[in-house]
Amino acid sequence: MISSTQRRLTLIVCLAATILALDQATKHLVLQFLNHREEKVVLDGFFKFVNWGNTGAAWSLFKDHNGVLAIVSALALIGLLVWHRHFHIETLLGRVSLGLICGGIAGNLIDRINPAGEHQVVDFLRFYLVTRSGEEIGFPAFNVADSAICVGVSLLIILSFRLESAAAPQPARRRETEPFPLESPRTPEAEKWNGTP
């Protein structure tokens, strides 16, 4: 009989594997149809497919430090697997977030250690705008793995806030059966003020 823990881990692994497969499949298609640094406009002035290699982290931070980033990614993936119980996997949102993060890290890690891809992460989704001067500005190119990591981290933050709110002490409420006082108690001082002998 499958335990609840095994069912939880099965969902995490299946989701991570799905993200990994989707990430690698889309990158393979990009490499097949677009040359390096080539672009294919889908919505002019808004969205296009690109084939940009990234040897850095998100938004090209730590560029040309691919080896170090590969080690960091591998350690992060191992850490997530070892300490998965600390990510609220008893909740569906926790399991989904962990599966997305693990799948995304694994997808980019494969790119970093793949010699056929020149140890570069393939970024191919590019949203942008064109200014009046013709200059292109926009969000840095990203991929499926990046999206999964961002969504997973966002879900984990939302979950943490929800759990903190649920754990916060609630103000005491008056019980419905507790009677409300109908009048103030009769004291000599109150009778004096009311003119009662």
Domain ranges of the chain: 4-37+51-123+145-167
Q: DSSP state, 49? A: E
Tens of pLDDT, residue by residue over 68-106, are 899 999 999 999 988 888 788 889 999 999 999 999 999
Of 104, 95, 82, 102, residue with least CA distance to 156: 95
What pLDDT sits at residue 65? 76
Res 88: pLDDT: 84
Sheet holding 39-43, edge to edge: 39-43, 47-54, 121-130, 136-138
Would you state the pLDDT for residue 164? Answer: 77
What distance in Å separates the CA atoms of residue 150 and residue 144, rounded to the nearest whole number? Answer: 10
Question: 126: which strand partners?
Answer: 48
Cα 21 to Cα 27, 38, 39, 123, distances in angstroms: 10, 24, 23, 16
pLDDT at residue 161, rounded to an integer: 87
* DSSP assignment letter at 142: B
Residues of the chain with pLDDT under 70: 1-2, 58-61, 117, 168, 170-197
Q: Which pLDDT does position 84 carry in this prediction?
A: 81
Catalytic residues, which ones? Answer: 123, 146
Instruction: Please state, in angstroms and rounded to a whole number, the distance separating the CA atoms of residues 112 and 50.
Output: 18
User: What is the per-residue pLDDT for 175?
Assistant: 59
**Whole-structure pTM value:** 0.79
pLDDT at 59: 60
